[in-house]
Amino acid sequence: MDIQFENLNYEVKPSFWQTKVSPRTILKSVNGRFAAGELACIMGPSGAGKSSLLNALSGYNYKGVSGTLKLNNQPRDEKLFRKLSCYIMQEDKIQPMLTLNELMMFAAELKLSNNTLMKEKQIIVSEIQNVLGLSESKNTRTEFLSGGQKKRLSIALELINNPPIIFLDEPTSGLDNVSSAYCLQLLRGLAHQGRTIVCTIHQPSASLFQLFDHVYVLSNGYCVYQGSTDQMVPFLSTVGLHCPLTYNPADYIIEATDGEEMDNITKLSAATKNGKLSLYKMRKANDYYLKKKMSLNGEVLLPELNGNVSANKMLPLPPIKYKDDDDDDMVKDRDTWCVDFPTSGWSQFCTLWKRMILQMYRNKIGLNIQFYHHLICGLAVGIVFFDKSNDGAQFFNHMKFCMGNILFHTFTQSMVQVLAFPYEVKLLKQEYFNRWYSLRPYYLAFQLSRVPSIVSYQILCIIEFYRKLLINGNLLHRC
């Protein structure tokens, strides 16, 4: 699936209280095209607009974005595009207490249809682990994985439903050169199977730079180059910029188009017509692009992850539909809360609840902190109000105990969720954007997964109150 964009602008408007700040234009009428079967990268100096372009193309940012976005030369349906694409962010947001295999199985239960048998899900997960080199670590907790393994795991989680379009924000960030090369070679292999893979990268080494099939260079919001890596140096020479033979072309074009070099930016942007022109070498007749396979009903066929491309080893993807098609056929019931997801709301809730329960009960440090917190507080309150139930004249102290007990349990359990939510919301934003589940099952699972621990710790605390305070069993009756 080819992605095209024309006259794409991205403007950031100041908040309503920032009256003296003028709007800032990040992307300035850029044009471009990312083709299927290619590993494409968006690169440029810091602040050039790389992540902004990726966010605009993926649909992650839509406010302030204007221009034309197309899919296979047709105006794209954003609702359908969200189902066909995935966005892997720079930070690897992974549940730390689960093993690699458990995490992938939970993802398979959420991303694959309810009609898919559990055995089939296990086969898919196992195959992806083999292709991405994660089989040996499948029983390792994700918190103990290396940076490269975590990045491959992030890719593996999104490959479970075989999306034809993948966006990645700086996949080599924080990795050494060897791990970066392994990651890019993996992405290159996946792209050459027919997927459209677009990633951002800041300043790749010469060896990493040659792994990309398509390069899109931004500077100061303008497109200064679009095309293949081997055509970059000849193109630069046509505008008077001569890259030394021993110099990395990626380093050279970034230095030549730094924010202070506006003359070079203007010349290069004009030469490419701000992305409308692309420079490629003639491809061989047996390239993937010239023999793209299609089924009889127009479905795009992608090879399996193992790289076999025989006719009986092809995975079908859903047919492309656009705005001029019948939207009622695509979305049968907009009021149904799970219509846009492969699994039902109940299935999403059960899977998320199991994942959260397992994550919580493997967090031994958190459980111990809560246990001793309730135990010590129960002992302390019991000592303060020791044997006060026998004196009916101390009714005010009885009320203080009851109100303090209620406030203690209310705020203690609320703070557990308040402290956990900042991390959870980052994971929620990524998984919800990639259409893993809807918000209602997540919220219900998040709340109900805390019920077992809340009940257990409150019983523990009440027992301590009873042992120290309710010696004659009168205080509870008086409250």
- Same domain, yes or no, for 197 and 78? yes
**What's the number of domains the chain is made of?**
2
Q: Nearest 5 degrees, angle CA 426-CA 203-CA 289?
A: 85
Reported as a pLDDT band with limits 50, 70 and 90, residue 281 is: low
Cα distances (Å, whole numbers) of residue 473 to 381, 387, 402, 432: 16, 10, 14, 51
- Same domain, yes or no, for 357 and 281? no
Among 250, 266, 290, give the residue marking a domain's end. 290
Kindly report, residue by residue over 111-149, the tens digit of the pLDDT. 998 888 999 999 999 999 998 889 999 999 999 998 889
Q: Would residue 191 count as lying in a domain?
A: yes
342 touches 111 (CB < 8 A) = yes
Mean pLDDT, the chain, as a whole number? 80
Domain that includes residue 449, residue range? 345-478
Kind plus residue range of the DSSP H or E element containing 67: strand 65-71
The CATH number linked to 42 is 3.40.50.300
- Same domain, yes or no, for 257 and 349? no
Residue 77 tokens, joined: 């349906």
Q: Would residue 324 count as lying in a domain?
A: no
Phi (first) and psi of residue 234, to 5 degrees:
-60, -35
Separate counts of helices (H) and strands (E) for the chain = 17, 12
What is the predicted pLDDT for the residue at 24? 85
Residue 442: other Cβ atoms inside 10 A? 21
- Same domain, yes or no, for 285 and 416? no
Kindly report, residue by residue over 374-397, the tens digit of the pLDDT. 888 877 777 777 666 566 666 777
What is the predicted pLDDT for the residue at 259? 66
Q: Among candidates 365, 361, 408, 362, which has minimal Cα distance to 384?
A: 408
- Same domain, yes or no, for 266 and 367? no
d(CA 242, CA 194): 35
- Give the dihedral of Cα atoms 192, 197, 198, 204; nearest 10 deg: -50
Phi (first) and psi of residue 52, to 5 degrees:
-65, -40
Among 273, 290, 307, give the residue marking a domain's end. 290
40 touches 214 (CB < 8 A) = yes
Q: Would residue 205 count as lying in a domain?
A: yes
Q: Does the global pTM surpass 0.85?
A: no
Comparison of pLDDT for 411 and 259, the residue scoring more: 411
SS3 of residue 26 by DSSP:
strand
Q: Are strands 39-43 and 196-200 parallel, antiparallel or unpaired?
A: parallel
What average pLDDT score do residues 320-329 get? Answer: 37
Q: Are strands 165-169 and 65-71 parallel, antiparallel or unpaired?
A: unpaired
